[in-house]
Amino acid sequence: MAGWHEPTDPGLGRRAQALGPHDPWGAAMCFTLDRLLARPQLERLLRANDVVVTDRSFYSTLAYQASALPPFKARRLVLLETGASAGPDRVIWLRLDPARALDRVGTRGVRRAPLERLRILRRVHRAYARLARRHHFVILDARAPVPQLLTRALRVVAAARRRRPRAPARQRG
């Protein structure tokens, strides 16, 4: 098992965050470029490990940035993201009401990010709900205690491992 964190390029991540809600297309392009550049490294990690857990995928860009775009641009972004990214086998959405999410953000002791506004989080929450229905995300109630969430998430990963076809044995040469 291995872990993966996005964005992989801190400069592209900072640029995307700076563009924030003012330029969702520009922010999405930063994330898309990051995924495209990191794809060979991610694919090596996927070949070397039976499970790779990541904190986000192109679905986060579709929820945050695409939901702020006109439909024709959002469709374009879907094509770009799915072409640039290695898509996840499973998505676990830790669903939390946007108002409660903002309450949690307030306990971090740091300033809120530009996208951490109730109006934006409500739009993103609706987008995630649509994506979850369409792509069969596993949905966990994020109000649950962390140990309980972790146990449930590990069960999802274990079930996915059992259903995954085993790779053919490597031949010695």
- Tell me: pLDDT of 65 over 90: yes
Beta bridge partners of 4: 54
Q: Each residue of 98-147: pLDDT tens digit?
A: 999 998 887 776 778 878 899 999 999 999 999 999 999 999 999 999 99
CA nearest neighbour of 88 among 42, 34, 37, 134: 42
Q: Which CATH architecture has domain 2-163?
A: 3-Layer(aba) Sandwich (3.40)
Query: Reduced to 3 states, what is the DSSP secondary structure of residue 68?
Result: helix
Q: What residue spans define the domains of the chain? A: 2-163
pTM, rounded to two decimals: 0.87
Beta bridge partners of 92: 138
Query: Reduced to 3 states, what is the DSSP secondary structure of residue 26?
Result: helix
Distance between CA atoms of residues 6 and 52, nearest Å: 13
CA nearest neighbour of 39 among 4, 75, 65: 4
Q: Each residue of 30-48: pLDDT tens digit?
A: 999 999 999 999 999 999 9
Give CA angle at 16 (14, 21), nearest 5°: 125
Distance between CA atoms of residues 114 and 67, nearest Å: 16
| Residue with token string 């069969």 | 136
